[in-house]
Structure 1
């Protein structure tokens, strides 16, 4: 049935109005579709993030249980340690959650034929890729903020709480069959059980810079009421050997019934508060530190390690963006047909990426490989694979 045109409007104006309405409707539909894809991607990201967060967090709990809880440290301080370890867990879990979540989400779109329906309606792959990449960029920014702002702050608090535990739980500073070094001494321990050390050797220097070697078969770990003393080692039947630094032929040997060796707080405090490494700095502070070391002609190997840590602060968080791009490329190439396949494929890619990343870091540490390259090669490989898989889809 034909529709009569209003007398006051020309045919041209009428069809222009209809065209404008169609354009507005199209814009509304695209907006709804955009938000729908973003919502689905975020949903799958959060599900995968909780899964990976649980794994990393449980791993931290097991490590704390071995080092701290097993030595009867205060539960309140242990809970604070767990709290301050959360930024590291979040920073590591987020990029891989973006990868697995995107593969699972797009896998559902493919299995439910939603992407096929969208393509049939004339929606280009480039439009579908925009909300997916936007989610990846958002995850990268949040992960970078966590890694660059929250992690350094939590590292300082972690050290402070750990110091409080160490001073309240003397046994925490010692471990069975280990070598502990502080500013003034080296402590070698055998089996530690029930507050007793079996076979203990201490090497330090006296006021005259002479080496002292103090050893015993049995020593008890005692807590001191003096805040300047972390712990006291009550040694039974000790043997002391003093070596004269000026004359190697001279030495003194002393045997005794018992002796108490006090571990001073100032001798180990520096290991908690004065040795903040590059991984615990913000990117801005680390960059300033690198520039300062360059003016001081610092060793090239040290500078390379610092540059590695600097680029690591960017490569891991923004790896989420490259992961999402790869996940979209794999799904667009028809390699993922359901959520289960996306989940297992995501895990395999995450393991391969982490192995490549850690391998590059090891080469940097041991063979002085370029730190910048070591941190960015995995992301470059992920990006290259994404471009190859996407192919002509980007230009349709």
Structure 2
């Protein structure tokens, strides 16, 4: 009855008073909305800042691991080769994009797990719930935003810096080989150079005790060159990586048309030029990892137009094209997975639990990448499927744990 009276009385008020009242009411609602929005913005800014700090710490952690591994690989390869220190520094520098591309997704998973686990164990999640906030929404938005930013950064490294770094790395490696040929020649080893093969005996500063060289002549006939003692010199001619000065060599040329026929050539001395193209074409020239996604896509179109292109070669390029996207945007899948895992398992010792869980999942994810990459390269598994399966596994796991978190 009182409400009806108030409505009747309000209806008798002048129109300008009612208009003023509605205007003030809208302003009050708008101010309250802005205050709530501002509080949400401050929360998001705080969460993003915390996530980035832990991500940066874990980025340095994983970067150091991969960086030390790269240094050890180079040291094992260049140890005792008397290569100038600056050449080694440049080789390490040009390999940095590959290290960064590998580091970012794993740092996202472990860093986010540690950060959200710390917030959970410090009862910050409980405070959000007590204040009427929805932690799942308040935390999910900055997690996905920062995960996307990290993914775009990782894609830039994969698609631009990594190919440029590989090109520079290979150029510097060729320069190092021309300065010191023993960088590529090791004792008692088999070195494949494109369609050619070098088998070496004991290698010292004085030369090579035994060497066997397999290649083909201008007619495509198999040719075998043997020498008991050879020396290796740097080459002054452009395009020549090294020169093999052979003593008492024997050259055996087989006949493809007549397997029982062959020619034998002997000499007291012979000089063989090893061209840079052998090293480039074997390790780099036909490698999609040295291309951007645009170049790979154009190359795939050319391969599909040519019926003589092997399917394995096309699939190799498809695999590398998808690898750049899958490995980069794996950070978003990891970010989404980190939220429910941290809120479920991070109630006690959240930072330590996040570190352990993050490292374990990173190892499993890394193993899945290599397993399905081998399936794609050797068993013909479609490159798109092979590269995205690990991310789909992470995404499905994230959805499953998210449902468990909501029920809790």
Decide: shared fold, TM above 0.5: yes
Range moving further from structure 2, 146-155 or 267-276: 267-276
Residue pairs, 1:125-274, within 5 angstroms: 125-182=136-193, 185-206=196-217, 211-244=222-255, 247-254=258-265, 258-265=268-275, 268=278, 270-271=280-281
Deviation at 1:349, TM superposition (A): 0.4
SS at structure 2 position matched to 1:333: helix
Deviations 1:108-163 (A, max 9, x none): 10111111101111111212210111111110000001101111112211111111
| Structure 1: tracts of 5 or more residues without a match | 1-7
Which of residues 313, 316, 324 in structure 1 aligns to 2:327? Answer: 316
Matched, 1:68 2:78: yes
Deviation at 1:69, TM superposition (A): 4.7
Residue pairs, 1:375-390, within 5 angstroms: 375-390=387-402
Deviations 1:68-127 (A, max 9, x none): 353122222221211111111111100000000000000110111111101111111212
SS at structure 1 position matched to 2:202: strand
Structure 1 equivalent of residue 68 of structure 2: 58
Deviation at 1:252, TM superposition (A): 4.2
Distance in 2, matches of 1:118 and 1:245, equals 80
Which of residues 376, 379, 388 in structure 2 aligns to 1:367? Answer: 379
Deviations 1:356-380 (A, max 9, x none): 1211111122221122111111111
Distance in 2, matches of 1:33 and 1:271, equals 54
Question: Are the counterparts in 2 of residues 56 and 89 from structure 1 also a CA contact under 8 Å?
Answer: yes
Distance in 1, matches of 2:161 and 2:21, equals 63
Question: Alpha carbons of 1:213 and 1:37: their partners in 2 closer, same or farther (altered >3 Å)?
Answer: same
Deviations 1:22-41 (A, max 9, x none): 43332222211111100000
Distance in 2, matches of 1:184 and 1:306, equals 21
Deviation at 1:17, TM superposition (A): 5.4
Structure 1 equivalent of residue 370 of structure 2: 358
Distance in 2, matches of 1:42 and 1:255, equals 69
Query: With structure 2 as the length reference, what TM-score do the two structures score?
Result: 0.86
Question: Are the counterparts in 2 of residues 213 and 242 from structure 1 also a CA contact under 8 Å?
Answer: yes
Range moving further from structure 2, 149-158 or 190-199: 190-199
SS at structure 2 position matched to 1:232: strand
Question: Alpha carbons of 1:106 and 1:195: their partners in 2 closer, same or farther (altered >3 Å)?
Answer: farther
Structure 2 equivalent of residue 95 of structure 1: 105
Q: What is the Cα-based RMSD across aligned positions, in Å?
A: 2.8
Range moving further from structure 2, 43-52 or 168-177: 168-177
SS at structure 2 position matched to 1:318: helix
Which of residues 319, 335, 340 in structure 1 aligns to 2:352? Answer: 340
Deviation at 1:245, TM superposition (A): 5.3
SS at structure 2 position matched to 1:214: strand
Deviation at 1:55, TM superposition (A): 0.8
Range moving further from structure 2, 172-181 or 57-66: 172-181
SS at structure 2 position matched to 1:317: helix
Distance in 1, matches of 2:225 and 2:198, equals 10
Structure 2 equivalent of residue 349 of structure 1: 361
Deviation at 1:289, TM superposition (A): 0.9
Distance in 1, matches of 2:56 and 2:351, equals 15
